[in-house]
Amino acid sequence: MSLARVHNFSISLDGYGTGEGLSREAPFGHAGERLHQWMFATRWWHELTGGSGGQGGLDDTFARRFAPGIGAEIMGAGKFGYPGWHDDPEWKGWWGPNPPFHTPAFVLTRHPRPSLAMEGGTTFHFLDASPAEALERAREAAGGQDVRIGGGPTVVRDFLAARLIDHLHVVVVPLLLGRGVRLWDGLEGVEEDYTIESVSSPSGVTHLTFTRAGVAP
Amino acid sequence: MSLARVHNFSISLDGYGTGEGLSREAPFGHAGERLHQWMFATRWWHELTGGSGGQGGLDDTFARRFAPGIGAEIMGAGKFGYPGWHDDPEWKGWWGPNPPFHTPAFVLTRHPRPSLAMEGGTTFHFLDASPAEALERAREAAGGQDVRIGGGPTVVRDFLAARLIDHLHVVVVPLLLGRGVRLWDGLEGVEEDYTIESVSSPSGVTHLTFTRAGVAP
């Protein structure tokens, strides 16, 4: 069974998955890098970005679940590029020549363009599709493996609302952003489909996992 | 030093401190009692309500901080009564003849009425006042002890926004209520004044504490 999984999705205490004022210079707007400091501190991140160092422990253990068993990713337009990237034919994503996905990556956008093969196995495909349609396409590309729903908050929320997520890992960072894009809006009762666990880390963040009944990711 | 403290303030994962549709029959609206099940299960609650039984452990340990050192409470109109209680001269609060406060309790309302002495040491006073004014009045009544800011969410938020809270204990319950009154709205950056700790409980809730720098409640 090919699951739909979310990993390392960071939100503020007040529920924002990104800030306000997103731009080419500020991918997370006024949130800056504050939602992801816990992740940048892990050994996993250091390895992923070609360095050494970083910390082991609980945060690292969760972070490492990002890649194993994943055969494709689905992301929103904002995770691929700045507002307006679709008018820039040279834009190849935030992620550099060798993006960290290393699988097919489906970008949900109302402005599809030809697929873009990058180094390291990532190929970006551009889809104007519903969550269910996109998941079907990604599953075909994943060759029997799981599909990661990569965010941002609107995309994760839409997939939760469509009851398509099997496993959700959210990291709550003790910040009050006050404005931006909220993850949880309009999801009343969605938790009833899941077993939920919470564990707080010495770093100050709290890891939440939602696992659909009968599923063992 | 007399501190302003919040204890046992429960919110849903999506940040709601109460639901929608509050009425005499439904004090928390569609949230029902789901935000407070963790508290009802504690030994502290059983003792407070005159029974025996209940569970010890982390939730109980936090819950018990409710009373010690507190000399007065401030609450919103909705914690005293249903929408429209001010038109009902017989209404004496949600809390029965012997309310669990056992101190002066200041009710913030635009419809003040004469003070109301109950059994067990609780006297309700009715104030049309700003957070700072109410805190000054409550401090006078507290005789050098701390003041508990008792909620609901609008009151806690207003006191946080006015930078009047010294210690905040919030309990995050793994529920998505979807609608109601949010605690965190409009509090961007307020966390910078505090040391924040998070600890998850085997019951599934997460206890968050905000403690103002230099304060040891």
Pairing state between β A104-108 and A70-76: parallel
Give pLDDT, residue B216: 67
What CATH number corresponds to the domain at position A82?
3.40.430.10
Please name the residue ranges forming H helices in A77-172: 77-80, 131-141, 153-161
Amino acid identity of residue A73, one-letter, is: E
Residue B49 burial by Cβ neighbours in a 10 Å radius (0-12, 13-18, 19+): exposed
Percent of chain A exceeding pLDDT 70 equals 99
Mean pLDDT of A27-32: 96
Cα–Cα dist B201/A15, whole Å:
21
Q: Which residues of A touch B199 (CB under 8 A)?
A: 200
Work out the pLDDT band at A196, boundaries 50, 70, 90.
very high
Residue pair B66/B8 in contact (Cβ under 8 Å)? The answer is yes
The 10s digit of each residue's pLDDT in A97-130 is 999 999 999 999 999 999 999 999 999 999 999 9
Q: Which residues pair with A197 in a beta bridge?
A: A209
Give pLDDT, residue B213: 83
Give the count of domains, chain A. 1
Cα–Cα dist A118/A93, whole Å:
10
Work out the pLDDT band at A217, boundaries 50, 70, 90.
low
Q: Which residues of A touch B15 (CB under 8 A)?
A: 14-15, 184
- Domain contains B91: no
Residue pair B164/B2 in contact (Cβ under 8 Å)? The answer is no
Give pLDDT, residue A51: 87
- Domain contains B217: no
Q: Which residues of B touch A34 (CB under 8 A)?
A: none
Asked if the interface predicted TM-score (ipTM) of this complex is over 0.90, the answer is: yes
Residue pair B179/A188 in contact (Cβ under 8 Å)? The answer is yes
Q: How many CB pairs under 8 A join A and B?
A: 74
To the nearest whole Å, the CA of B72 is away from the closest chain A CA by 29
Amino acid identity of residue A79, one-letter, is: K
Instruction: Suggest the residue from B37, B176, B177, B207 to mutate for an interface test with chain A (most A CBs closer than 10 A).
Output: B176
Give pLDDT, residue B40: 97
User: Tokens 């960290």 sit at which residue?
Assistant: A100
Residue pair B121/B71 in contact (Cβ under 8 Å)? The answer is no
Give pLDDT, residue B141: 98
- Domain contains A108: yes
To the nearest whole Å, the CA of A48 is away from the closest chain B CA by 28
Instruction: Report chain A's mean pLDDT, rounded to a whole number.
Output: 96
Residue pair B138/B147 in contact (Cβ under 8 Å)? The answer is yes
Instruction: Suggest the residue from A9, A183, A191 to mutate for an interface test with chain B (most B CBs closer than 10 A).
Output: A191
Residue pair B30/B180 in contact (Cβ under 8 Å)? The answer is yes
| Among chain B residues, CA nearest to A179 | B188
Please give the sequence-ordered ranges of beta strands (E in DSSP) within A60-205, or none if there are none: 70-76, 104-108, 116-117, 123-127, 146-149, 167-173, 181-182, 194-200
Amino acid identity of residue A172, one-letter, is: V
Residue pair A139/A147 in contact (Cβ under 8 Å)? The answer is yes
- Domain contains A217: no
Pairing state between β A104-108 and A146-149: unpaired
Which of A125, A132, A139 is closest to A1 using CA atoms? A139
* Paired tokens of A161: 């609302």
- Domain contains B65: yes
Residue pair A188/B176 in contact (Cβ under 8 Å)? The answer is yes
8 Å CB contact of B190 and A176: yes
Residue pair A161/A133 in contact (Cβ under 8 Å)? The answer is no
Q: Which residues of B touch A188 (CB under 8 A)?
A: 176-179
User: Tokens 């919103």 sit at which residue?
Assistant: B76
Work out the pLDDT band at A213, boundaries 50, 70, 90.
confident
Phi-psi domain of B35 (left: phi exceeds 0; alpha: psi -120 through 50; beta: other): alpha
- Domain contains B156: yes
Residues 166-195 of B with CB under 8 A from A: 172, 174-179, 184-191
Q: Tell whether B111 is within 8 A of chain A (Cβ).
A: no
pLDDT at A151 > cutoff 90: yes
Pairing state between β B181-182 and A70-76: unpaired
- Domain contains B51: yes
8 Å CB contact of B187 and A176: yes
Give pLDDT, residue B142: 98
Which segments in chain B show pLDDT lower than 50? none
Q: Which residues pair with A210 in a beta bridge?
A: A168, A196
Q: Which residues of A touch B184 (CB under 8 A)?
A: 13-15, 176
Residue pair B9/B169 in contact (Cβ under 8 Å)? The answer is yes
What's the 3-state SS for B60-97? HHHHHHHCCCEEEEEEEHHHHCCCCHHHCCCCCCCCCC
Phi-psi domain of B189 (left: phi exceeds 0; alpha: psi -120 through 50; beta: other): left
Q: Which residues pair with B117 in a beta bridge?
A: B123
Give pLDDT, residue A216: 67
Domain region containing A146: 4-86+95-212
- Domain contains B30: yes
| Among chain B residues, CA nearest to A175 | B191
Of B176, B197, B204, the CB nearest to A190: B176
